[in-house]
Structure 1
Amino acid sequence: MMIARTTRTGWLLVLPLFAFIIVAFIGPIALMLARSVYDPELAELMPRTRTALSTWNGDGMPPASAFDSTQADLRAAVQQGRAGRLALRLNREQSGFGSLIDRTTTALSLQPTARLADLDPRWGAPAIWQILASGTQPFTASHFLNAFDLKIAAGGGIEFQDKSRRIYVELFVRTLSVAAIVTIFCALLGYPLAHAIARSGPRLRLVLLFVVMLPFWTSLLVRATAWIVLLQRRGVLNEALVASGLLGDNQRLALMYNLTGTVIVMVHVLLPFFVLPLYSVMTGLPGAYVRASASLGARPFYTFWRVYLPLTYPGIASGSVLVFVLSLGYYVTPALVGGRTGQLISNQIAFHMQKSLNWGLAAALGSILLTIVVAIALILPRLTQRGGLRA
């Protein structure tokens, strides 16, 4: 009886934490996943068109009732002040659709009884009606297709987007590449630093740990601004190189507002996330293994390569995965110092959430990014067990 009461008390103590996780974490993720495949906006704006096209197989032209239903939906959109919203939403499906809606609704206000094909000849194209038939369905795969630079073809198949709209695959590749580059640089810079901290005396160790922890106590905006001052064309570094004669005034280095600036600032920000897990592993390693290797005649490099490095592999794997995952979702740094070529997929997600208001596409892009992060999190235990991947 006492055990059951203690168990209930324990659950009541953690209940606020569970509620917070559900409201602040699980709920938004579930909503994001739902918005990526559920988009009822067009179905709500054009309910009659959706009903009229629900039985159409997509071949040739739709029945005459579809024209009358669409015309009624357009008149209702004008009366309710939603014509602009409808044009913007349809323009996401195909470039130029918005101008068709604007022109048609303007003409309908002057000629209420005119037929759609008489108002604009584009209404006589089957492709327009195929887009309406697929777009007015609440459940759609178009957002995920768009996230992979694909779209539903006029005949019902899948084809690539126009070249001018193929940007998301490139952004995903760039994001993964930047995350990998940042992780490699953090490993190259962080391993010697973590080793120096682990091998130093108590006082020096406190100083080095303070240096590593200092970025956590400084605003990210302040750090990014400081790097801008240092690396821009008229910044401290370029001015010093020009003053020393190493560079001419017209040979200044382009280190800011590009991919180079993004990588430099991200390495500086994320380096502690690699050093601290590795340092915790190094401090727990017994020195007897290294001493035994040296006593058996092994040279310092051989001892490091065959004994010390494998023992620190769990720390390397943990730090690398932590830096890589954090790099995938970075937004502020690329927005401040990335310029046009240094933008990552997170910046495009923010653009669709805040400016274009295409929340379905933003949710699809976020869902793909979440899938990549979850896959890495599932691979992590295999990396840290036995010092490598397990079959």
Structure 2
Amino acid sequence: MSHKSRISWLLVAPLLLLVLIGFIIPIGYTMTKAVDNADVTGALPRTVSVLDRWDGAGLPSEAAFAALVQDVTDTSSAQAFGAMTRRLNFELNGARAVMMKTRRELDSLAPPYAESLPAAIPEWGDPQMWHLIKTNSNPLTASYLLRALDLEITPEGHIQPVSQDRAIFVDLFQRTFWISVWVTVLCVLLAYPTAYYISTLSDRAASYAMLLVLVPFWTSILVRTTAWFILLQREGPINAALEALQITDAPLQLIFTRFAVYVAMVHVLLPFQILPLYSVMKRQGPQYIKAAASLGAPPWRQFVSVYLPLTMPGVAAGAVMVFMLSVGFYVTPALVGGLQDQMVSYYIAFYTNQSINFGMVAALSLLLLFFTAVLIAVARRLIPNLGNTIKG
């Protein structure tokens, strides 16, 4: 390696270290939680070892019952026991209550435990609980990823769709991408004429116009969203103006609607579309348009065949940026949207702060990252073809 190369690597080393420590390692660790399944094995090691030799027919042997009682007795860490019960309850509703009751009944149990344990807690006389522990004894699991796709692993180890009342995540992903696509389309439609107008101004006037575009960057997203929350209230100024102009006879339901989500998100993200468009448009000289005009092309043809293809890189760059930011929005839909307008990030926050289920947090995050990457990859392949089609 040459001396200049070593100097170059030394200069970029702090940035690479920052990316590694602040991005790659945390994201990578979070992603591993999507398949991590150490809770049951860590809290019930003896039970897991015995059930590993169980063929799944009927009830397990006395050794499994004794191992379960011993494991529950020896689990000194409340955190480990709680993590194990939450993990089992995630797979089978009511499993946590069974484990908690088992812990309370330990003093009343006596050998043979294959008789005393089911007598005290009838659920242990059902193979379902034992299948549940055996299924979740593997240190790796696809359960969280499957649940994020509205699928589940049964206690017997089969994959099946979840019940209709719990099938929410496929619709959630569809809603997230649908909202993001429409926000991106609206931003492109609003930003294109705005950026074109600014690009035709003198340098002094354009600098003032761009200052107005950049003003939202100096204001918190929470503040901007709260402003729309106030404006769109039934007693807010927008409804008051509509009634004063006799456009409506009664206040409209504007807040907690999909309309409010679109308005607030477009307001926040519009500058991200204007900036790359303006940058591209500013570099386009008039010679191409003049050449098209000299060949007899009408104004609409000049735009469609010449100007639009030349500015497509700006459209694409801004659209990708807006879309990627949209799919991760949380504050804006949470404040101005209704229950049917929430996006994936809302449930990521729910599992982080309320359910304390980091497996589902990681699974939803991983799938969101994967689906977004796929859509961006497809868009990158389609945009050149789209530009060539328009140009032709």
Equivalence for 2:230? 229
Match of 1:198 in 2: 199
Task: Write the mapping of 1:349-360 to structure 2, written as runs, cut at 5 A.
Answer: 349-360=348-359
Shift of 1:19: 1.0
Give how far 1:384 is off: 5.2
Change (3 A) 1:389 1:111: farther
Give yes or no for contact 1:321–1:376 (8 Å, CA) kept in 2: no
Report the alpha carbon displacement of residue 380 of structure 1 after superposing the two structures with TM: 5.2
Equivalence for 2:156: 155
| Matched-pair contact (CA < 8 Å) for 1:150–1:161 | yes
Q: Is 1:64–2:65 an aligned residue pair?
A: no
Q: Distance in 2 between matches of 1:304 and 1:294?
A: 10
Give how far 1:381 is off: 4.3
1:132 alignment partner AA: I
Once the 2 structures are TM-superposed, how far is the Cα of residue 84 of structure 1 from its aligned partner?
4.5
Residues 296-343 of structure 1: CA deviation (Å, up to 9, x unaligned): 222211221222112211111111111111111112212222231221
Contact map agreement 1:187 1:320 (CA 8 A) in 2: yes
Overall identity of the aligned pairs, in %: 40
Give the whole-Å Cα distance in 2 for the aligned partners of 1:49 and 1:270: 53
The Cα of 1:389 is off from its aligned counterpart by: 8.5
Give the 3-state SS of the residue equivalent to 2:315 in structure 1.
helix
For structure 1, the residue ranges without an aligned partner over 5 or more in a row are none
User: TM-score if structure 2 supplies the norm length?
Assistant: 0.92
Offset of residue 174 of structure 1: 0.7
Deviation sequence 1:227-284 (CA, Å, 0-9, x none) = 11111111110122123322223xx222222322222111111111111111111111
Q: Which runs of 5+ in 2 are unaligned?
A: none
| Contact 2:109–2:117 (Cα < 8 Å) also in 1 | no
Pairing of 1:58-207 with structure 2 (within 5 A): 58-77=56-75, 80-81=77-78, 83-111=81-109, 115-207=116-208
Q: Say whether the 8 Å CA contact 2:36–2:141 is kept in structure 1.
A: yes
Query: What displacement does 1:118 show?
Result: 0.9
Q: Which residue of 2 aligns with 1:323?
A: 322
- 2:265 is aligned to 266
Structure 2 residue 218 is the aligned partner of structure 1 residue 217: yes
Name the SS for the 2:297 alignment partner. Answer: coil
57-66 vs 160-169, which moves further: 57-66
Q: What is aligned with 1:24?
A: 22
- Counterpart position of 1:339: 338
Contact 1:197–1:208 (Cα < 8 Å) also in 2 = yes
Aligned to 1:5: 3
| Contact 1:325–1:373, Cα closer than 8 Å, also in 2 | yes
Report the AA paired with residue 236 of structure 2: G
Q: Which residue of 2 aligns with 1:300?
A: 299
The 3-state SS of whatever aligns with 2:260 is helix
* 8 Å CA contact retained: 1:314, 1:383: no
Structure 2: distance between partners of 1:301 and 1:388: 16
| Native 8 Å contact 1:255 1:261 kept in 2 | yes
Would the alpha carbon gap of residues 360 and 291 (structure 1) be closer, same or farther in structure 2, given more than 3 Å must change?
A: same
Cα offset, 1:110, TM superposition: 3.8
Distance in 1 between the 2:217 and 2:271 partners?
8
How many angstroms apart in 2 are the aligned matches of 1:136 and 1:154? Answer: 11
Matched residues in 2 for 1:246 and 1:109: separation?
Answer: 73
* 376 and 388 in structure 1: CA distance in 2 versus 1, 3 angstrom threshold: farther
Whether the 8 Å contact between 1:191 and 1:278 is mirrored in structure 2 is: yes
Which whole-Å CA distance do the structure 2 matches of 1:9 and 1:186 have between them?
43
The verdict on how the C-alpha distance between 1:355 and 1:322 changes in structure 2, with shifts beyond 3 A counting, is: same
Q: Which amino acid aligns with 2:346?
A: N
SS of 1:37's equivalent in the other structure is coil
Corresponding residue number in structure 1 for 2:254: 255
| Separation (CA, whole Å) in 2 of partners of 1:100 and 1:86 | 12
Contact 1:175 1:344 in 2 (8 A): yes
Could you say what the CA RMSD is over the residues aligned between the two structures, in angstroms? 2.1
Q: 1:235 to 1:64 in 2, by over 3 A?
A: same
Distance 1:264 1:100, change over 3 A: same
Indicate if the aligned counterparts of 2:258 and 2:341 stay in contact, CA closer than 8 A.
yes
Change (3 A) 1:286 1:168: same
Match of 1:371 in 2: 370
Q: Number of residue pairs matched? A: 385
Secondary structure of residue in 1 paired with 2:160: strand
Partner AA of 1:303 in structure 2: Q
